[in-house]
Amino acid sequence: MLSISDLNKTYPNGTQALNNVNLEIGKGMFGLLGPNGAGKSTLMRTIATLQNADTGTVVFDGIDVFDAPDEQRRILGDLPQDFGVYPKVSAEMMLNHIAKIKGIQSKGDRASYVSDLLNKVNLYKFRKRNLGDYSGGMRQRFGIAQALIGNPKLIIVDEPTAGLDPLERNRFHNLLSELGEDAVVILSTHIVDDVVNLCTNMAVFNEGSVVVQGHPQELSNTLNGKVYRKKIRKEDTEKYQLEYTVLSTYLRSGNFNVNVYSDAHPGEGFEPVANDLEDFYFYSINQPQTV
């Protein structure tokens, strides 16, 4: 449904944010997982026609979106990292305004449409409250409501759960998973759990390029039997990094641990670890992480 071909973008300061990006994305939730600075937002903004690429094409349902940006915007629901909240406007007024812009002309239709949306994202009770007084989770849910106006066929969600508490995050995940039933939803994130919980397909993105694309479970299965854990002293971290392919270092039950990638058993004190998308992700971006 969404075909991205040979996309390149270098900013005027010389930063190459997209380096020959090719992706095929179908209906459902698609996770674009990559570290900060990988180029995810650049890609999202390009798909949303908010900025230009230097070369390449994005085709959605047969429409070349660079040739027909208005058409793309009509079918797009965009939930950017920071969607420019107007602090002194209530959620209800703001949604009403966006619905009008998106072509719902009758006042009565608009009112019931906005009420339905507010109910859907569980904000009806707070509809009169100014957006500036919303919590992080409420803002994210408001973001979903505004993205849903006009029944978009393509929904872009950029770093949605950064800064949300676990309860808000859970609620937000439930909402997102409903969207994937009928549209292409692209979730861009650096949080592995978001992809594990929500996405049927994914790509790892790093330094402007797609490193690998596939089903999250199948991708993590590729490391089957090749990840080992050991309790170590924190001060030995560097030594291990020199000697092994370290995927991550982390605290577990008060102990410092290292996870390494190895084709064979790496030696005394190491124990095998079950497959995990986080290990796969760190392996594919090839940078040891402290988690």
Is 48 an interacting residue with respect to ligand ADP (CB under 6 A)?
A: no
The nearer residue to ligand ADP, 2 or 17, going by C-beta atoms, is 17
CA pair distance 261, 118, nearest whole angstrom: 47
The label of the residue with tokens 């995927």 reads 247
Which of 40, 127, 139, 169 contacts ligand ADP by CB under 6 A?
40
Q: Angle at CA 3, nearest 5°, toward 197 and 207?
A: 65
Stretch that binds ligand ADP, among 36-44, 65-73, 147-155, 193-201 (CB under 6 A): 36-44
Stretch that binds ligand ADP, among 31-39, 194-202, 244-252, 257-265 (CB under 6 A): 31-39
Which of 21, 30, 33, 41 contacts ligand ADP by CB under 6 A?
41
Number of residues that bind ligand ADP (CB under 6 A): 12
Read off the tokens for 277. Answer: 């998308």
SS3 state of residue 208? coil
CA pair distance 28, 16, nearest whole angstrom: 29
Which of 21, 31, 42, 78 contacts ligand ADP by CB under 6 A?
42
Least separation in angstroms between residue 88's CB and ligand ADP is: 29
Residue from 207, 209, 229, 214 nearest 279 by CA: 229
> For the CA atoms of 141, 145, 151, 152, what is the dihedral angle to 10 degrees?
-60
Least separation in angstroms between residue 187's CB and ligand ADP is: 13
Is 13 an interacting residue with respect to ligand ADP (CB under 6 A)?
A: yes
Least separation in angstroms between residue 5's CB and ligand ADP is: 19
Is 15 an interacting residue with respect to ligand ADP (CB under 6 A)?
A: yes
CA pair distance 218, 196, nearest whole angstrom: 12
Residues 250-269 that bind ligand ADP (CB under 6 A): none
Is 80 an interacting residue with respect to ligand ADP (CB under 6 A)?
A: no
Stretch that binds ligand ADP, among 11-19, 101-109, 178-186, 257-265 (CB under 6 A): 11-19
The label of the residue with tokens 């050991």 reads 230
Burial status of residue 278 (CB atoms within 10 A of its CB: 0-12, 13-18, 19 or more):
buried
The nearer residue to ligand ADP, 37 or 132, going by C-beta atoms, is 37
Residue from 283, 277, 43, 3 nearest 157 by CA: 43
Which of 11, 100, 218, 233 contacts ligand ADP by CB under 6 A?
11
Is 39 an interacting residue with respect to ligand ADP (CB under 6 A)?
A: yes
Helical residues (DSSP H) of the chain, grouped into ranges: 40-47, 69-75, 91-101, 107-120, 136-148, 166-179, 192-198, 216-221, 237-243, 277-285
Residue from 58, 90, 92, 96 nearest 76 by CA: 58
Stretch that binds ligand ADP, among 37-45, 84-92, 223-231, 236-244 (CB under 6 A): 37-45
Is 38 an interacting residue with respect to ligand ADP (CB under 6 A)?
A: yes
- Which positions lie near ligand ADP, rule CB under 6 A? 11, 13, 15, 17, 34, 36-42
